[in-house]
Amino acid sequence: MQNQYLTIKELTEAVGDGITPRMVRHYHASGLLPPAVRSQSNYRLYSQDDVRRLQRIVALKKQGFQLSHIGNLLDADSDTAVDTLTTQLQQQYHLVIQKLGRLRRTASALEGLLGRDRHCQEVQAEALAQLRHLDVESKDASLEDGLDALEQLWDGLDAATDAHPEAFTESLQQLLPDLSDRSEIEVDLLSKLVLATGDVSLVQFVRIGEGAIAASREALKAGCQVIADVPAVGSAIDQTRLAHLGCKLETLIANPHITTAAEAETTFWHHDQWQERLQHLPSGCVLVVGYAPSVLMSVVVAIEKGQLQPALVIGMPIGFSHAPAAKRRLMRSGVPFITIEGSLGGGLLAAVSLNALAESLIEKPDCHCYLK
């Protein structure tokens, strides 16, 4: 019988993902894993059911679920339990959003200090010195006094900003994470996306598929057709550079009145002409999807069926359920892609991505840094 079971070490090896025996024991203590069968020598023994349950725990934990909610997810077996769990998850979501808001304020404060170009370094040094002595000096001083001092600090920093234009490159050098393992073209693309949003954290969500940079350069160099999902995305694309490369820009949903992702989604879903047109796009084209999740999902389905063979898909629609799902499917499609995980995205970011690729090709046509 013992041969049917795994030891705790064999269990962790079967699951992988850095799971250790200590973590397994913690999951037992928290109730996520049921009590293990014991050998005659009192060692824990595990079945394949335990392996599968631990794999699910690891997968959910990597998605950010709290341990208490993971237990409820695994054990929910009725509509009542699901309803209760939904309420709990909504509460967790709102707490996470509140925490993100606090972290965003902290990040903004740090950016205000660290994102200073050389013209502001003297002011920055003075601000850091003031922060070091911001402690309330007397017991009679109030929190309001401390806040007033902070307001004066930021006013002093702001006073230096009207003396010269902002040096974005210098600021990015102070704020971007280590990108030494990325090619020069990728760093340029990521930098432009950050500048388009003002959010440095975006870098960790951008996904550039293997061979995507090379595929984009070959396609644009060959004068490929560029297809934007809606006119708003097309209008943000640099048509002058595309014309220089001999590339023609077209729009999939040719309705100039579409101004929101919701309108793009509804129009594509309810009008067969746009879905039919998708089936007849030329091979080797570059698709730029920044609005409608259903467009990206339909693109991926057409790719999987062999009905569409684009050189590159820039898939960055906004959405909270369909968009993340379409992006995940895009990343598994085997086609060269550039996307942003989760709900983040938008037409501007999709257009910025294509513009950065076109600009780098024109300015550095012989660059091969992306091949390293």
Q: What is the pLDDT of residues 48-77, one digit of tens each?
A: 999 999 998 998 888 778 887 788 778 765
With CA atoms as reference, report the closest residue to 351 among 341, 359, 343, 362: 359
The residue with tokens 């595309």 is 242
Query: Distance between alpha carbon 179 and the CA centroid of its chain, in Å?
Result: 16
The residues spanned by each domain of the chain are 2-75, 115-166, 176-371
| Domain 176-371 CATH class label | alpha beta
Task: Fill in the DSSP letter of residue 247.
Answer: P
Instruction: Select from 249, 356, 345 the least CA-distant residue to 295.
Output: 345
CB atoms within 10 A of CB 83: 11
* Helix, strand, coil % over all residues of the chain, rounded to 5: 60, 10, 35
Regions of the chain where pLDDT drops below 50: 1-2, 136, 138-140, 143
CA atoms within 13 A on the CB side of 265: 15
Integer Cα distance of 241 and 99 in angstroms:
42
Locate the DSSP E strands across 209-363.
Answer: 225-228, 248-251, 286-289, 312-315, 337-340
User: Which amino acid makes up residue 357?
Assistant: L
Burial of 351 (0-12, 13-18, 19+ CB in 10 A): buried
Global pTM reads: 0.77
Q: In which element (H, E) is residue 45 found? A: strand 44-45
CATH number for region 2-75: 1.10.1660.10
- Report pLDDT for 18: 87
CA–CA gap between residue 159 and residue 339 (Å, rounded)? 39
- The identity of residue 132, as a single letter, is R
